[in-house]
Structure 1
Amino acid sequence: MTEVSSLTGRLLVATPSLADPNFERSVVLLLDHDDEGSLGVVLNRPTPVDVGDVLQAWAELAGDPGVVFQGGPVSLDSALGIAVVPGPEAMEGGGSVEDGPLGWRRVHGAIGLVDLDAPPELLAAELGALRIFAGYAGWGPGQLEDELAEGAWYVVESEPGDVSSPVPEGLWRAVLRRQRNELAMVATYPDDPSLN
């Protein structure tokens, strides 16, 4: 098998032609991508469930909207915490820029995974934004590469604000709109092209 170039930390943005209802107009943050497969969370699928209803201890730290997000179709009964830890000045008191605060593991840049079994107080002073996801999106070896070759996804750079977008329903258009190429035009693609 050929070496897979890691897309960890990048965004997968569903193309308008992606018809799978799990991923239609979705924006997926890749948390892990290598030759053994890929794992990510859908950033723009808020549920009506408040974080306090399932993880009361973390509710105060959850960003707006303070709801659980459906991270993908796999393991919907498990929770993942993704948080942004601001720049080096926020690392005083225990962490370093390289490893971040205790209970947080860097994925890419300022974005990392939160140990939801850790006491929230341990991270409260360090976190800039926290999102809780039920489930995740997963691909087996080579599966994501096949979908990319078929044109199902655009791959773009992530920004820390993507994780905590206060209007997640608009994230698909917002991410496309900020691209500096023809992808910016895709943001104007109608929800139902047959009405065009």
Structure 2
Amino acid sequence: MGEARAGMLLVATPVLLDPNFADTVVLLLDVDENGALGVVLNRPSVVPVAEVLEGWSEVVAEPEVLFHGGPVSTEGALAVASLSRPDDVPVGFREVWGTLGVVDLDTPVELIDGSIDGMRIFAGYAGWGADQLDGEIEEGSWYVVPAEGSDVFRLDPTDLWRDVLRRQPGELAWHSTRPVDPDLN
């Protein structure tokens, strides 16, 4: 497993029973000595983006709904996007990893449109204080694995947890086939 840093995925282990994070895949957007911040990739809501953020539904990837990014600041929104061309960075875009970055939703949509391949908007985020995430990883709550660009903008994120584990090397891939209740096995 890799080290927790921006652009990596946190995949919830069976040990993690917190309903906010059970069976989730979290994309880390920022990790430093003060803590970490990420968004849950596999929890779409039923709320259309157009209902909450007028104009942004034009540039978000399907499904055009808000995603539950995590339990922190759920009244706020955070946007993650992928650049069309690495040499064409629009105003309001901050690189996180490769062509993936965060978009300032106060930026006029016209300045972003045409510069990005895909975008997701998340209500809330997942956050950890200094050393908190390291402690959760050490206790076995998270697998830390590399992200692929397609993880963020999947049309149907339902099987993302299993698919991310399935592509991992060695025994980690075996976890993708575990039943919901191992006692029934």
The two structures have a TM-score, normalised by structure 2, of: 0.95
Moved over 6 A (4+): none
Shift of 1:87: 4.2
- CA distance in 2 between partners of 1:172 and 1:86 (Å): 26
Name the structure with the higher strand share: 2
Q: How do 1:12-161 and structure 2 match up within 5 A? A: 12-88=10-86, 91=87, 95=88, 100-161=89-150
What does residue 170 of structure 1 align with? 159
Deviation per residue, 1:47-83 (Å, 9 max, x gap): 1100111012100111111110000000000000000
Deviation per residue, 1:130-175 (Å, 9 max, x gap): 0000000000011000001101000001111111011111110111
Structure 2: which 5+ runs fail to align? Answer: none
Identity %: 54
3-state SS in 2 of match to 1:165: coil
**How many residues get paired?**
183
Structure 1: which 5+ runs fail to align? Answer: none
Q: Could you tell me which amino acid in structure 2 is paired with residue 115 of structure 1?
A: D
Shift of 1:10: 0.5
- Contact 2:4–2:144 (8 Å) recurs in 1: no
Q: Could you tell me which amino acid in structure 2 is paired with residue 32 of structure 1?
A: D
Q: Could you tell me which amino acid in structure 2 is paired with residue 46 of structure 1?
A: P
The two structures have a TM-score, normalised by structure 1, of: 0.90
